[in-house]
Amino acid sequence: MIRFLKYAFLFLLAAGLLAVALANRQIVTLSLLTPELETFSGWSWSLDVPLYFVAFGGVAVGLLIGFVWEWIRESKHRQEVAKRQNQVRSLKREVTKLKGEKNEGRDDVLALLEDQPRKAG
């Protein structure tokens, strides 16, 4: 049922985007600089594209900027997680080493049984 709802939502989204694209097919000119700056600098760049391309491109650029912004913002959390994982690995190695030292020269089966946690009750 959930898969059907997901596909239905994606179909409706695609149909809506297609309707927007078909309704906004007129060609617009995108210019990098204003006409005044173009005459001042002697350099101009412009591109003729459909209006829906401008709208969808703006949404895509906004999403990209948001994802990058969040990735940068969360970097301190990723560093903290990596630090904690290194600490856990180090502590596990130390526990294994200490268990080996504690049980050195003893019977392996008895050492394993003594290392098991005791049940309460």
Q: What percent of the chain has pLDDT over 70?
A: 84
DSSP 32: S
pLDDT band at 40 (very low <50, low <70, confident <90, very high): confident
Phi-psi region of 42 (alpha: psi -120 to 50; beta: other; left: phi over 0): left
Nearest C-alpha neighbor of 28 from the set 62, 45, 44, 52:
52
pLDDT of residue 12 exceeding 90, the answer is yes
Are 55 and 48 within 8 A, CB to CB? no
- The average confidence (pLDDT) of the chain is 88
Tens-digit pLDDT profile for residues 53-81: 999 999 999 999 999 999 999 999 999 99
Residue 50's H or E segment, with its range, is: strand 46-50
pLDDT of residue 75: 95
| pTM of this structure | 0.61
**Alpha-carbon distance 71 to 74, whole Å?**
5
